[in-house]
Structure 1
């Protein structure tokens, strides 16, 4: 039977990558919402398009912190996976 090899260094790199991507997305989303808000205040202030833009800003704003939370959850799942593997491995060896 072939051995299963877990590359813990790769998993650690993935934890860092996921964390960085979550933080970067949150930053971009904040900037995007700010641009939309400025556009609604200065460029499209009245009418149906302005109302639709305000609704869109509200919906986009609800995404704030969700990607960050999701990336934190993914990192925690990777950590739990490594811990589970280590625990199971300790019973085998």
Structure 2
């Protein structure tokens, strides 16, 4: 029969917190560069017309998402850290 003991690997959870936050930051940097490239295309190559208008709309939507990914990474990191704290706190009551 399998044991009923739950084992939490603190190191793994902490590593995942850093990993998720780092990946989100890297992804956000890529998104920011992408938006800059789109703005450069709009400014230097597509000056007017329906395509310019569509690109303006697309850029505005992309900017609305700016920093969302990085915030999600920070939230994931905080959630991992809170999880470890919550488990440690609950563990004190059990043993």
Shift of 1:73: 1.1
Corresponding residue number in structure 1 for 2:83: 81
2:48 and 2:85 mapped to 1: Cα distance? 56
So what's the TM-score if we normalise by structure 2? 0.93
So what's the TM-score if we normalise by structure 1? 0.94
Corresponding residue number in structure 1 for 2:41: 39
Runs of 4+ in 1 over 6 A off after TM superposition: none
1:22 and 1:73 mapped to 2: Cα distance? 10
Give the gaps of 5 or more residues in structure 2. Answer: none
Give the gaps of 5 or more residues in structure 1. Answer: none
Aligned length: 93
Corresponding residue number in structure 2 for 1:54: 56
Corresponding residue number in structure 2 for 1:10: 12
After superposing the two structures, state which structure 1 stretch, 71-80 or 49-58, moved more: 71-80
Q: What is the CA deviation profile of residues 25-78 of structure 1, one whole-angstrom value per residue up to 9, with x for unaligned ones?
A: 111011000110011111111100100001100110111111111111111111
1:34 and 1:68 mapped to 2: Cα distance? 17
